[in-house]
């Protein structure tokens, strides 16, 4: 069983506090799937405003956690670590469904499977659960580009 701790994860993802949203990879299988966790704490920056009286992790942040997990799977499958010029871009988010709020103290279990990879485009089926209850699911599409190739670099 392959696993990664936070220091190993940081070798594959450029994200850092407060946007690194994967704490541990429990297991992964190249070309197939990955299981990871995010420990949700009240110290998360977004809880200051979402919502002060009833803290709830924004849905967009749960999607981002799944996207980071997907990017990890892609890099692990390719057998390469990104360099400082690599950027992963969203191409699409389809069939996103939010089924349960994610709150401080929850442990978000993320499961991502590769649906397909063709011509630099990756498509994933992603799910996040809390206490075995579905919190969010979506199909995610992304591509990897060099910073020099990105429109912002022009």
* Positions marked active-site: 50
DSSP string, 1-58: ---B-HHHHHHH----TTS----EEEEEETTTEEEEEEE--TT-GGGGTS-TTS----
CA distance 75 to 52: 37
Other C-beta atoms closer than 10 Å to the C-beta of 116 total: 9
């Amino acid at each position: 069983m392959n696993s990664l701790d936070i220091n190993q994860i940081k070798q594959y993802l450029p994200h850092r506090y407060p946007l690194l949203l994967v704490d541990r990879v429990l297991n992964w299988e190249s070309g197939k799937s990955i299981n990871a966790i995010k420990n949700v704490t009240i110290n998360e920056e977004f809880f200051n405003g979402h919502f002060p009286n009833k803290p709830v992790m924004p849905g967009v942040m749960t999607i981002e956690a799944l996207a980071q997990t997907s990017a990890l799977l892609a890099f692990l499958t390719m057998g390469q670590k990104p360099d400082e010029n690599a950027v992963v871009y969203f191409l699409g988010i389809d069939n996103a469904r939010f089924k349960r709020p994610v709150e401080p103290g929850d442990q978000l279990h993320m499961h991502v499977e590769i649906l397909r990879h063709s011509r630099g485009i990756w498509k994933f089926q992603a799910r996040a659960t809390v206490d075995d209850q579905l919190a969010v699911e979506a199909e995610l599409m992304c591509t990897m580009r060099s910073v020099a190739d990105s429109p912002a670099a022009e």
